[in-house]
Amino acid sequence: MGKATQDLRKEHDAILYILRILDKMLEPGNREPDTMLRYYGELVDFLTIFADKCHHGKEENYLFTRLVEKGIPNEGGPVGVMLMEHAEGRGYIAQMSASLNSRDIGGFGAAAVQYRDLLRRHIAKENDVLFRMADQVIGEEEQAELFEKFEEHEEKVIGHGVHEELHARMDQWAKEFGVEES
Ligand SMILES: [Fe+2]
Ligand SMILES: [Fe+2]
């Protein structure tokens, strides 16, 4: 497994962990609506920054463009499908945010379930198909170069301090909602 795909797989694990926390947050509980709106708002911020800007940014700006250069088809091929799913995910995130702005917990839940299901399917496809293809066509040295670009991208969109903060927040939610890290 190359260094670049390995980094993205590690981020998939973090995203899947967040989705398990989201499952718990969506279960009917006895928390006040205000409390849940606050948790959901923080979760949307996390998904926007970590899953979309950072992770999908690494894929779209570096890995996918490299795959297309290597002859893996974009439109009508696996890269195009992944890009469409990223766009679909952004649509759900926008719906989740809009629901929170109008304090519509039901609307938030409906969009969150679609987002969650999409991302789980998407991650499985990348792990099982696209990243395997990537490991076949992108050699170790080139993967190490891509990894350097990922690090720069991460520093630009998140920054080291915020990254730590996000992970600390994630562990706090997990504790509050009783989710074990796998
Ligand atoms: Fe992706
Ligand atoms: Fe991904």
The string of pLDDT tens digits covering residues 138-173 is 999 999 999 999 999 999 998 878 888 888 888 999
Euclidean distance between CA atoms 26 and 40, whole angstroms: 9
Q: Contact, 5 vs 131, CB < 8 A? A: yes
pLDDT 10s digits, 87-128: 999 999 999 999 999 999 999 999 999 999 999 999 999 999
Calculate how far, in angstroms, residue 168's C-alpha sits from the geometric centre of ligand 1: 24
Ligand closest to the CA atom of residue 60: 1
Q: Contact, 182 vs 17, CB < 8 A? A: yes
Residues with a beta carbon under 5 angstroms from ion ligand 2: 126
Calculate how far, in angstroms, residue 133's C-alpha sits from the geometric centre of ligand 1: 14
Q: Contact, 149 vs 62, CB < 8 A? A: yes
Q: Which residues of 91-120 are buried (b: 16+ CB within 10 A; e: fewer)?
A: ebbebbbebbeeeeeeebbebbebbbebbe
How many Å from the N-terminal Cα to the C-terminal Cα in the chain? Answer: 21
pLDDT at residue 161, rounded to an integer? 81
- Binned at pLDDT 50, 70 and 90, residue 182 comes out as low
